[in-house]
Amino acid sequence: MKLHGFFRSGTSHRLRIALNLKGLPYETVPVDLRREQHLGDAYKALNPQGLVPTLEAGGRVLTQSPAILEWLEERHPEPPLLPRDADARARVRALAAIVGCDIHPVNNRRILEALRHDFGANEAAVQRWCGRWIADGFDAIEALLAADARRGDFCFGDAPTLADVYLVPQVESARRFQVDVARWSRIAAVDAACLRLDAFRRAAPALQPDAT
């Protein structure tokens, strides 16, 4: 497998975690968003949307991290990232979607670049923008974690699920935007539990070959 991504990209980060949890070897192919390599003809021939990550696997080219993660779960079901029970799967997917649908999309690089260049936002305004959507999403996740009597060390149960795969990169991003994650004690505890696992530690942005 070849993972085309950017070390600081939350979507690339979540895919690295999933691949590590499933014990799947992959080659990292850096795509430098700062130099706009994702907009070049070579990369767009691979991924017409010009976004990261892209996964090459067995002659296939897979795009969009939610689709890739579902594909990994179906093709490589062990260890599972989704519970067996339908109600439990719905809960895990809902937690993941708060990050994947409601926090990350409005805080990703192309949105922030538009705020800077099209709307004249300075860095303080950009940080306030990011902090607002992170806080809204984290408030909801914290409440859902507090309401779940079955929760173990992770978002759902005693082993990482898709919810943790989404949450940990968003926590990393929150810290980068100077959001105090400690105010959400359950999220902070889940993040700490995940980072005790090698699969999460090895996926950290700072440890990637293109990190600078």
- Domains assigned to the chain: 2-79 (3.40.30.10), 86-199 (1.20.1050.10)
What is the residue-averaged pLDDT of the chain? 96
Confidence of residue 53 (pLDDT cuts 50, 70, 90): very high
Residue 195, SS3 per DSSP: coil
Q: Count Cα atoms within 13 angstroms, Cβ side, for 7.
A: 12
Q: How many CB atoms lie within 10 A of CB 204?
A: 17
Mean pLDDT for the stretch of residues 204-211: 96
Q: What 3-state DSSP class applies to 63?
A: strand
**CA-based torsion, 147, 155, 180, 195: positive or negative:** positive
pLDDT at 150: 72
Q: pLDDT tens for residues 91-120? A: 999 999 999 999 999 999 999 999 999 999
* pLDDT tens-digit map of 57-86: 999 999 999 999 999 999 999 999 999 999
The runs of H, that is alpha helices, within 22-80 are: 41-46, 65-75
Reported as a pLDDT band with limits 50, 70 and 90, residue 151 is confident
DSSP state of 21: H
CB-count exposure of residue 78 (10 Å: 0-12, 13-18, 19+): exposed
How would DSSP label each residue in 110-141?
HHHHHHHHTT---HHHHHHHHHHHHHHHHHHH
pLDDT range class, residue 10, cuts 50, 70, 90: very high
Residue 162 has pLDDT above 80, yes or no: yes
What is the model's pTM?
0.95
- Going edge to edge, which strands form the sheet with 2-5? 27-30, 2-5, 54-57, 60-63
Whether residue 199 has pLDDT greater than 80? yes
Q: How, if at all, do strands 27-30 and 2-5 pair?
A: parallel
Query: What pLDDT is stored for residue 191 in this prediction?
Result: 98
- For residue 112, the model assigns a pLDDT of 95
Instruction: For residues 142 and 156, give the distance between their C-alpha atoms in angstroms, rounded to a whole number.
Output: 12
Decide if pLDDT at 149 tops 80.
no
